[in-house]
Amino acid sequence: MERRTTIFENGLIWFGAGVSIAEILTGTYFAPLGMTRGIAAILTGHLIGCVLLFLAGYIGARTRRSAMETTKMSFGARGGLLFAILNVLQLVGWTAIMIYDGALSANAVLKTGAWVWCLIIGALICLWLFIGITNLGKINVITMTALFILTLVLCKVIFFSGGSSRYSISDGITFGAAVELAVAMPLSWLPLISDYTREAEKTFAATLGSAVTYGLVSCWMYLIGMGAAIFTGTYDISQIMLKAGLGVAGLLIIVFSTVTTTFMDAYSAGISAVSIRSEINGKICAVIVAVVGTVCAILFPMDDITSFLYLIGSVFAPMIAVMIADFFILHADSGSTAFNWRNLAIWLIGFLLYRFLMTKDLFCGNTLPDMLVTTVIAVIAGRLAAARRGSRGEQSRDAM
C-alpha cells in the first residue's frame, strides 16, 4: 500500500518553505511603511495569498493529481502544458535565486567565497532530493526544530535588544504595493502545493494545515526582515546575525533554511517536467534543475527579485482563478480535450489585466481584483457555454 504523508509531515514541509532568506529579504522592503502599517500589509497580503494557496492545494488533494496535472482539468491536456513549461522555468529561476541569496548571506558570516557556498547548498539540495519527500520525516523534524529555535533567537536579537527605530518612515513603498509583495510569496507556491497535498492521508486537514503553517511562518519571516531594517538600519540579515554574535547558529539558519525551501522548488520542477512528458525521470530532472540553479547562482547577479515576483503573479493568479471557477463553481473538467481555448483566452485576459493593474496603486494590491474579475468572467463564460450545449442537445432530440 502506498504510504501517505500525515498532517504533521505536510506541516513540516511548509514550515521549511516559509523559513527562507528570500522571505526575510522581501520583508525588509516594508520598512518605509513603519511597524504598524507594515504589519497590516503583511497580514492582508498573506491572508489573500494563503486562501488561494489552500484552494489550489485542495484541488490537487481531492483529485490526487500533481499541480500541473490539475491545470489540464481547466485548460486541456495540451493547453495545460503551457503552464507546466512556465512553471519549470520559474522554478529554475527560484532555485537559482534561493541558492544565490543563501550563498551571499553564508559568505558574509564565513568568508570562503560565495561560489563555495553555492556548491555546498546545491549539494545539500541534491541530497534532500535523493532521500525523497516521503522519507524525510526524521530529518525534517530535526532540521525544523533547529530552525525554529534559531529563528526565535534571531527574533529576540532584533525585537528585544533594547534598540530604537533607526529607520525613518518614508514614501519608498505604498500600502497597496506592499500588500502585493506579501501576496507574491504564497502566490509563487500556487503551482507547487498540489505536488505535496496529493500525497496527504487526510486531504482537507493536510491542505489547511499546509496553508496555515506556511502563512504564519511566512508572516514571521517578513516581520523579521522588516524589524531588522527598522531597528538595526540594515537590509543585510547576515550582518544582523554577526552583530548579534550568532556566528555558527546564524550560518545554520542561512544554509538549512535555503536547502529546505529550494528542495521544494527543484522537486516540483521534476514533477512538472513529468507532466510535460511522462517518460522523463522526475528525480533526475529535479537534480538537473538544482545543478542548473547552482551554476546560474555562481554566474549571474540576482539582487532584486521584485520584478520576478510580479511576473509570477501575473501568470499564475489568473491561472488559479480559472481553475477555482471550474473546480468549485462550474464542476467542469476539460482533461479529455486537447485545448480549452475559452479558458486559455480568459487566462490571457487576466494576465493582461494584472499587468495593467500594476500601473495603478490599489489599496488591496493587484492580485485580488484581478482574480475576482477573472473568476467572474470564467463563471459567466462557462455557464453560457453549458447553456449553448444544452440548447443544441434539445434541438437534436427534437429533430429526432
Burial degree of 64 (CB within 10 A; 0-12, 13-18, 19+): middle
Cα–Cα nearest to 198, from 386, 10, 335, 397: 10
What are the extents of the domains in the chain? 8-303
Q: Note whether 114 and 303 are within 8 A (CB).
A: no
What pLDDT is recorded for position 10? 87
> For each of the chain's 400 residues, which pLDDT tens digit applies?
466 778 888 888 898 788 877 788 888 889 889 889 999 999 999 999 999 999 999 999 999 998 888 999 999 999 999 999 998 999 999 899 989 988 988 888 788 889 999 999 999 999 888 876 656 556 666 767 776 777 777 777 777 765 555 555 455 788 998 998 899 889 888 888 998 898 888 899 999 999 999 999 999 989 988 888 887 776 676 666 666 566 677 777 778 878 877 888 898 888 888 888 888 888 899 999 999 999 999 998 887 778 888 888 899 999 999 999 999 999 999 988 999 999 999 999 999 999 999 888 888 888 999 999 999 999 999 999 988 877 665 555 555 5
Q: Which CATH architecture has domain 8-303?
A: Orthogonal Bundle (1.10)
Alpha helices in the chain (DSSP H): 7-18, 21-28, 34-63, 67-75, 79-109, 114-131, 137-159, 175-188, 194-197, 203-232, 237-243, 248-276, 282-299, 306-324, 341-357, 367-399
Cα–Cα nearest to 302, from 331, 262, 275: 262
- Which residue is associated with the grid cell 513603519? 34
What pLDDT is recorded for position 107? 87
pTM above 0.95, yes or no: no
Distance CA(46)–CA(254), nearest Å, equals: 23
What pLDDT is recorded for position 125? 92
What pLDDT is recorded for position 13? 83
What pLDDT is recorded for position 156? 76
